Every structure is written in structure tokens, then in C-alpha cells.
Structure 1
Amino acid sequence: MNNWYKSLMDTLTNSNTWEDLGITAIRIVLIVVISKLIMWVLHKSLDRIVLERASKHPPSQARRMTTVGKLVKNVVTYIMYFILFMLLLSEVGINLGPLLAGAGVVGIAIGFGAQSLVKDILTGFFIILEDQFAVGDVIQTGTFKGTVEVIGLRTTKILSWTGEVHMIPNGMINEVTNFSVNNTLAVVDVLVAYEAHVDRALSIISETMNQLKHENLVKRPEVLGVQLMSATSVTIRVTGECKPNTHHMVARVMNKEIKDALDRNGIEVPYPRMVTYQRTYEEG
């Protein structure tokens, strides 16, 4: 015990020890700073390359290039962090030879317990290869719906319209609905009271839709006619083809224009009413 304590004190009081520690600390800081700088330069270069190429291609191909660019940035980041980790181990005096030699055996052992990780990575590559969706698309998978922000090596990040960020492992993405590929249909059901003249209401709605202008409309909305007759109202259905994932916005505009037109022309929208009958009784 005394020998161990004496050896420790000799080491701590040796000026060469502190000099070596100082040099090692400086080298570690330099390695970290240079690695971060290299990653920053590589990321900026990839962003510039993707932006230049995307500007020369149609939107569908541009989206795919953006997605691939972000995936490549993820791969570069993982590789750089691995290299940084190995350099730091080397600086603190760990021999990398035996470590790398045993990596194969350790890798096999880990592989049996990391099947889900491999599945996530392979699924991520197939998502991009098959162009199932890209960054910026609005998709739904399972109960999650939102805008794709990142397609990573292991997970896909989806931002919902209310602000929540969903991190979904790629291996769990089995069924996907992509709302950003084809044109969508805005559907508006207009309720008209039975007291109103249906043909006149159809004419007013049709004229209003003919005059409707909106940047997301692909063609003029179409009045399909009477869709349903319920106990209290007649339902008139109107549809409008619009750009991908803009049907909710266009439907709101159509609803407002139709409501204003019906109000101007005195066409009533049905609402709950109460009818009271008063009965009088004669005495005698």
C-alpha cells in the first residue's frame, strides 16, 4: 500500500506528468475543434451542392435530392464522430490495435441484439430508393400525420400541424399515405333549408364557383348537385380540384364564398327551430 501511495505521489509531483497532461489536453481540444470545423465545411458543401442541383430539376426530383442530401449529412456526421472517438482514445493512450481486432467479434454479438436497428437503417434506405416520400411531404403513417422534416439513418422526424414533433423508427413505417404527390379534392357540402328553392340555390352556388379565383385551385369547382335529403335540409355537394395538400384551405375559401352568396340572395341555411302550439280550453 505504501509503495502504491509513494508511486502515485511521485507521479503527481513530477513536472513531466503535468506537462504531458497539458499537451494531451491541448491536442484533444484541437482534435475536437478541427473535427467540428471539418463537419461544418462538409455540411455546408453538401447543402450548396444539393441546392444547385435541385434548382435545375422539377420539384419532385428536387424534393428527393433534398432528402438524399440530408441522409448523406447524417452518414457523414456518424462517420466523423466515429473517427473523432477513435482519435480521442488514441490520445489518452489506449491501443487501438486490439480494440479494432476485437471489433469483429463484438460486432457479431451486438448484431444479434441490434436487429431492429438494422431493420430501421434498411427501411430508411428503401424509403429513399423507392421515393415513398421526401422531406417536405405531408404524410400519415399509423396515427401520426404531419410534414416530413428529416429522414435519418434510423428515424424519420414528422412535424404535426399543431407543432408536435414525432420521431418514428423507420422499421415501424409499414403503411404510408402521402398527401403531397397528386392533386387533392376539396369537398364542400352545403345545407339548404327545404323552404328555399333548390334550383335557385344550385344556380347561385354554380355562379359563385365560376367566379372563384384561388392560387391553389387547379380548375373551376364543380357543383355535383343534391347529395342528400335529410329530415331538416337538402345537401348540395361542391368539389374543387386543387394542388397537393391544399384541399382544407381551398374548402374553407369555398365555404365562405358560398355562405356570403347565399346570404346576399336570401337563401336560408337550416337551423334548429322550436314550434309551439297553444291550445285553449272552454269551460263548461
Structure 2
Amino acid sequence: MELIWKFIEDFFKTTEGSLNLLGKAVAIAVIFIAIFIITRVVNHIVDKTMNNRRLTKLQINDRRMNTLSEILKKVVKYILVFIGIVVSLDLFNINTTSIIATAGIGGLAIGFGAQSLVKDIITGFFILLEDQYAVGDYVKIGGLEGIVEELGVRVTKLRDFTGELHIIPNSNVQIVTNRTRGAMRALVKISIAYEEDIERAIKVLEKVSEDLAKSNDNIIEGPTVLGVTEFGGSDVVLTVVAKTKPMEQWAVERALRKSIKEAFNREDIEIPYSKIVVVDGGKES
């Protein structure tokens, strides 16, 4: 033990007993290693708490819980890093109290220039507080839409279906369309020729809808055949609607279209399509 203390005294301290440059560098390294370890421990605790939320009285959905946990992790990380920087500056006898005070005065001076940043942060907290959307939701913000990949206190990151990442300052979030909350609507319009028996076509659609409702777990209600909803230039339009689980409306629509086409083929119900009639010598071909 004495050898260890002697080694420390010889290599990490000055003759006056204070830490030398090497000692301060090692101390700073130890501080940030400790911060890294504490951050990992806190992240583990947060994740474990969120995973065990069903055993508590917390009534928060999965997406909002994930968003809250990510923001909490970031806040803890920033606080610990700030503390580490202050302690490191103290090792070099830099008066951190005056720096913090100066930063406060400087903050007032640049406050007008940082209005957009403050607005971003305040809006971000209200988005989270009001649960407007969360990580994993499919939303439309202004002219952009996609999956919320990250919700921070300053920006929202959307990943669209082409893979592009849209980074939106929270202060620009004004009108949000959340396509994930609650049941969604699947809507399919089918055209049949004017010559077809409408009642027969409706019965075929009702049978298809009944079969699909039994086999597709993504359907909450319906599908319901609304009947004739439109007359086209060469077709009669029938409409089928259904309520589905969030984000499953497109899959249900595809399944409906496939089943309807197969059923119409079996029943010889014609779906009109563009035709070219050539008249040659009084005969059509």
C-alpha cells in the first residue's frame, strides 16, 4: 500500500502536494469514465423500469413510454457531462462560479437571438406533454410524412417510406395528422360494367367481406359494402369500407382488392377497361 501511495506522490503530485498535469489528466479521465458508467447504469435502470411498467400503475402506451425514456436518458447524460466539465475546470483552478454567472448574463444578452431555439424547446415539451405523437407513430407534419424516428426537445425526425430522414424544428410543428392513433379506415372502390347485375355484384362483395373478416386479424370492424357510390363514364362504382388496426389499413385494402378480383373472375363479373373498337366495312373487330 505504501508503494502505491509513493508512486502516486512521485508521478501525480507536485512537491506542494497538489496534482500535477499528469495527475489532473488522469483525474479527468477517471471522472468521465465514471460518468460513462453512471450513464450506462441509469439507462439500464430506465429501461428496466419501462419494461416493468405493466407491474406498476403507470398507464402510458408503449410509444410514449419509449419517447419519455429516450428524453430522460439524454437529460441525465447532459447533466452528468456538465458536472464533469465543471469539476474538470475546478482541477485547473478555474473559477466555475464566475463562468456560470457570466453565462447567465450572456444568456440574457443573446436571448433575443435565441428565441427560435427557446421556442423549439418549449414546443417540444408541449408535444411530449400533450402526447401529440411519439416515437414509432406514422404522422404528417405540414407537407412531410413518415415514421417518427426521434422526438427530441428541439427537433423531430421523420423517416419517410423512401428512406429519407426529415429533421423538423419543433417550432415548425403546427398542424399534425397522426395516422396511428385509434382505428384506421380501409376504403376500396370497385368498378363494374353497366351491363352487370348490381345486386349480384353486391352479394359477391358481401361474401368476400365476410370471409376476409374471419381470416384477417387486422380488421376491427367490417368490411361493409356501402353499395353504389358513383357513376362513371363506363362503369358503376361500388365501395367497401372497414376499420383496421393502426398502420394496417393499406394491407387490408390490398387484401380486399385481391379477394374481390378473384371472386369477380369466378363469378364472371366484368370489370370495365378501355377498349378500342375498329369499324371496317360496317363490321366491328
Q: Same fold (TM over 0.5)?
A: yes
Q: CA deviation at 1:234?
A: 1.4
Match of 2:275 in 1: 273
Q: CA deviation at 1:56?
A: 5.2
Q: CA deviation at 1:85?
A: 2.2
TM-score by length of 1: 0.85
Match of 1:225 in 2: 227
2:237 counterpart SS class? strand
Question: Within the alignment, does 1:253 sit opposite 2:244 as a pair?
Answer: no
One-letter code aligned to 1:247: Q
TM-score by length of 2: 0.85
2:20 counterpart SS class? helix
Match of 1:139 in 2: 139
Question: Within the alignment, does 1:235 sit opposite 2:237 as a pair?
Answer: yes
Summarize deviations over 1:187-225 as a string: whole Å, max 9, x none: 000111233322221111111111112111012211111
Q: CA deviation at 1:182?
A: 1.7
Question: Within the alignment, does 1:38 sit opposite 2:63 as a pair?
Answer: no
Q: Is the 8 A contact 1:54 1:62 kept in 2?
A: no
Match of 1:82 in 2: 82
Gaps of 5+ in 2: 1-12
Match of 1:264 in 2: 266
Match of 1:108 in 2: 108
Distance across 2 between alignment mates of 1:198 and 1:241:
24
Match of 1:172 in 2: 172
1:148 counterpart SS class? strand
Q: CA deviation at 1:80?
A: 1.8
Distance across 1 between alignment mates of 2:145 and 2:131:
18
Distance across 1 between alignment mates of 2:136 and 2:151:
10
RMSD after superposition: 2.3
Match of 1:120 in 2: 120
One-letter code aligned to 2:108: I
Change (3 A) 1:216 1:193: same
Distance across 2 between alignment mates of 1:229 and 1:245:
31
Q: CA deviation at 1:92?
A: 4.1
Gaps of 5+ in 1: 1-14
50-59 vs 198-207, greater mean Cα deviation: 50-59
Distance across 1 between alignment mates of 2:62 and 2:279:
68
Match of 1:51 in 2: 51
2:246 counterpart SS class? coil
Summarize deviations over 1:5-44 as a string: whole Å, max 9, x none: xxxxxxxxxx979x93322222222222111111111111
Q: Between Structure 1 and Structure 2, how many residues are aligned?
A: 265
Distance across 1 between alignment mates of 2:280 and 2:60:
68
Q: Is the 8 A contact 2:155 2:170 kept in 1?
A: yes
Q: CA deviation at 1:59?
A: 7.7
One-letter code aligned to 1:260: E
2:277 counterpart SS class? coil
1:237 counterpart SS class? strand
